[in-house]
C-alpha cells in the first residue's frame, strides 16, 4: 500500500481494468461501506484490485468496518462482484467506476461521488452538458405543460435533459425530451432491473430506444427503498451544469436536489407559480433566494456558460439561432367553433367536458364542441387529461 492520506487528491483516471472494476464492485457490495469510506480506502492502495491480495490486518488499516474487512478477506466480496458482473452483462448494461476515464468529470467534483455507476444505454451521455429538471410527483396541468415545453425546447437545442423518472414533473421532463426526438438520462433509486414506478416501464423502454441512458448507484435487484431516493438526488444535480425546479411543495424531496445543487455550485433555475398553489412554494422561495426565474428556454440558454452555448450551437449547426421557440410559430386560423372552445380553456387549470358543454350550450351544439375539441387536440392546441378534462397546451 502507498501512503496517500484519505484527504489527498484522487489519482488520475485510467482506462478500466477488469480486476480494478471488480474491486470497486466488491467494495460497493461489502456491508457497511458508503461512498466516502470506499473512496478514502482506495486512495490508500496502489490499485483498487489490491484489496483482493492484502491481509485482514491491512484491510482493517484502511478504516473498513470489521464486518466489511472480513467479507472481503474471505473472498465473499469478489464472488459477489463476479455474480453481479454476470447479471450486468446479461442485462446488456455496464459499470463505470471512479477510476475509469469514462467516469463523468462533473460527478468527481461532488463531496461523495458514487464509486460505481450501473449504466444501461449510452454512458457517453453522462459527459454532455445537461440540465436536471425536477419537481413534484403531483403537478398541476400548468406544471405538466410548462415542463414538457421547456424540456422539449432545451433538448431540441442539444442540452441534455436529466431527471429521476419519478411520477409527475420528472416523467414530463423525459417526455418533453423524447418529443424533441433527443436522448434523455434517468437516474434511478432502484436497480437497473427494477422499474419504478411500474407504470413508467414504457417510458424506460422509450428512453433506451431513443439513445438515452438509465443510471443507478445501487446493485441490480435493489427495490425502491425510501432512503435511496434522497441519496440519488445528489447524482442528478452532480451530473448537471444546472438544476431547473418547476413545481414542488414546502416539504418536497425536490428541496433536497436544490440544496445539493447549491452545495455543488450548480446554477439553479425555477419556474414561478401561482402563490395560492402549494406546489409553487419551493420554486417561488428559490427565486426569492436568488434562483433565476425561467419562463422560456431562452431564460436558461442566455445564462449558460459561453463555451457550453458554443458547443451546443456547433452541434446543432447553428439551428439554435435560426429557430423560433415552438410556442411562437405561426399557427393556422381557427374555425369559429374552435375559437370559442379554446377561449374558455386555460393552461393552468383544467375544464371538465360537462362544464364546457354547460358554458357553451347557448352558442354551440354538443356535436360542434366534440368536433372542435378533436380538431384542437389534433393540432396540439389543447391536451386531454384523465376524466375528460381539458387544458390549453403551452
Residue 73 CA to residue 91 CA, distance in Å, equals 29
Cell numbers found for residue 203? 417510458
Cell numbers found for residue 357? 358543454
pLDDT value at 202 more than 70: yes
**Residue 16 has what pLDDT?**
63
The 10 Å Cβ neighbour count of residue 32 is 12
Among the listed residues 47, 40, 34, 38, the one whose alpha carbon sits nearest the alpha carbon of residue 6: 40
Residue with cell 441534455: 160
Residue 217 CA to residue 223 CA, distance in Å, equals 13
pLDDT value at 249 more than 70: yes
Among the listed residues 137, 141, 168, the one whose alpha carbon sits nearest the alpha carbon of residue 351: 141
- pLDDT tens digits, residue range 256-289? 999 999 999 999 999 999 888 899 999 999 999 9
Among the residue ranges 65-79, 158-172, 203-217, 351-365, the one predicted with the least confidence is 351-365
pLDDT value at 23 more than 60: yes
325: pLDDT confidence band, cut at 50, 70 and 90? very low
Question: Is residue 325 a contact partner of residue 153, using CB atoms and an 8 Å limit?
Answer: yes
Secondary structure class of 293 (helix, strand, coil): strand
Among the listed residues 126, 129, 131, 130, the one whose alpha carbon sits nearest the alpha carbon of residue 102: 126
CA-based end-to-end distance of the chain: 60
pLDDT value at 10 more than 70: no
Question: Is residue 96 a contact partner of residue 116, using CB atoms and an 8 Å limit?
Answer: yes
- pLDDT tens digits, residue range 186-198? 999 999 999 999 9
Q: Report the sign of the C-alpha dihedral through residues 244, 248, 254, 259, in that order.
A: positive
Cell numbers found for residue 380? 396540439
Residue 296 CA to residue 349 CA, distance in Å, equals 20
**Residue 78 has what pLDDT?**
96
Q: Which residue has the higher pLDDT, 264 or 381?
A: 264
Mean pLDDT to the nearest integer, 95-106: 95
The backbone torsions φ and ψ at residue 223, rounded to the nearest 5 degrees and listed phi first, read -85, 170
Among the listed residues 115, 123, 302, the one whose alpha carbon sits nearest the alpha carbon of residue 208: 123
**Residue 189 has what pLDDT?**
97
**Residue 331 has what pLDDT?**
55
Question: Is residue 25 a contact partner of residue 81, using CB atoms and an 8 Å limit?
Answer: yes
Q: What is the pTM of this model?
A: 0.81
Using CA atoms, how far residue 328 sits from 171, 178, 296, 336, 353, in Å, is 25, 20, 11, 22, 28
Residues 6+ apart with CB under 8 A from 362: none
Q: 197 preceded by cis ω (within 30°)?
A: yes
Q: Which residue has the higher pLDDT, 260 or 331?
A: 260
Among the residue ranges 12-26, 144-158, 239-253, the one predicted with the least confidence is 12-26
Residue with cell 449547426: 317
- Length of the chain counted residue by residue: 394
Q: Which residue has the higher pLDDT, 163 or 323?
A: 163
Q: Which residue has the higher pLDDT, 48 or 2?
A: 48
pLDDT value at 137 more than 70: yes
Residue 255 CA to residue 352 CA, distance in Å, equals 33
Residue 71 CA to residue 84 CA, distance in Å, equals 16
Residue with cell 463505470: 96
Question: Is residue 270 a contact partner of residue 135, using CB atoms and an 8 Å limit?
Answer: no
Cell numbers found for residue 140? 398541476
**Residue 102 has what pLDDT?**
94
**Residue 384 has what pLDDT?**
86
Average pLDDT of the chain, as a whole number: 90
Among the listed residues 257, 95, 253, 93, the one whose alpha carbon sits nearest the alpha carbon of residue 162: 257
Secondary structure class of 199 (helix, strand, coil): helix
Q: Which residue has the higher pLDDT, 14 or 117?
A: 117
Amino acid at each position: 500500500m502507498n501512503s496517500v492520506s484519505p484527504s489527498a487528491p484522487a489519482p488520475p483516471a485510467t482506462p478500466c481494468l477488469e480486476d480494478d472494476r471488480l474491486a470497486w464492485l466488491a467494495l460497493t457490495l461489502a456491508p457497511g461501506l458508503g461512498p466516502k469510506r470506499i473512496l478514502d480506502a482506495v486512495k490508500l492502495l496502489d490499485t483498487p484490485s489490491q484489496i483482493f491480495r492484502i491481509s485482514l490486518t491491512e484491510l482493517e488499516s484502511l478504516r473498513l468496518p470489521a464486518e466489511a474487512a472480513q467479507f472481503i478477506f474471505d473472498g465473499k466480496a469478489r464472488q459477489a462482484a463476479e455474480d453481479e458482473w454476470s447479471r450486468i452483462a446479461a442485462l446488456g448494461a455496464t459499470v463505470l467506476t471512479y477510476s475509469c476515464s469514462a467516469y463523468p468529470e462533473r460527478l468527481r467534483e461532488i463531496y461523495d461521488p458514487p464509486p460505481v455507476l450501473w449504466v444501461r444505454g449510452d454512458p457517453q451521455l453522462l459527459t454532455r452538458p445537461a440540465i436536471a429538471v425536477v419537481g413534484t410527483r403531483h403537478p398541476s396541468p400548468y406544471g405538466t405543460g410548462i415542463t414538457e415545453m421547456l424540456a422539449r425546447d432545451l433538448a431540441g437545442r442539444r442540452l441534455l435533459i436529466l431527471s429521476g423518472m419519478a411520477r409527475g414533473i420528472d416523467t414530463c421532463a423525459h417526455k418533453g425530451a423524447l418529443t424533441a426526438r433527443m436522448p434523455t438520462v434517468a437516474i434511478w433509486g432502484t436497480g437497473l432491473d427494477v422499474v419504478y414506478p411500474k407504470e413508467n416501464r414504457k417510458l424506460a423502454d422509450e428512453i433506451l430506444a431513443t439513445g438515452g441512458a438509465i443510471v443507478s448507484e445501487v446493485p441490480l435487484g435493489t427495490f425502491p427503498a425510501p432512503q435511496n431516493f434522497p441519496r440519488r438526488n445528489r447524482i442528478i444535480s452532480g451530473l448537471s451544469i444546472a438544476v431547473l425546479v418547476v413545481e414542488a411543495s414546502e416539504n418536497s424531496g425536490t428541496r433536497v436536489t436544490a440544496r445539493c445543487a447549491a452545495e455543488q455550485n450548480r446554477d439553479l433555475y425555477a419556474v414561478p407559480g401561482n402563490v395560492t398553489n402549494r406546489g409553487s412554494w419551493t420554486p417561488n422561495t428559490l427565486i426569492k433566494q436568488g434562483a433565476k426565474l425561467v419562463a422560456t428556454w431562452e431564460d436558461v440558454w442566455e445564462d449558460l456558460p459561453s463555451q457550453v452555448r458554443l458547443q451546443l450551437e456547433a452541434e446543432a449547426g447553428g439551428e439554435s439561432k435560426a429557430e423560433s421557440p415552438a410556442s411562437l410559430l405561426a399557427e393556422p386560423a381557427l374555425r369559429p367553433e374552435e375559437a370559442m372552445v379554446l377561449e374558455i380553456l386555460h393552461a393552468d387549470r383544467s375544464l371538465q367536458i360537462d362544464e364546457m358543454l354547460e358554458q357553451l350550450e347557448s352558442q354551440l351544439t354538443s356535436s360542434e364542441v366534440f368536433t372542435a375539441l378533436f380538431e384542437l387536440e389534433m393540432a396540439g392546441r389543447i391536451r386531454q387529461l384523465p376524466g375528460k378534462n381539458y387544458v390549453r397546451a403551452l
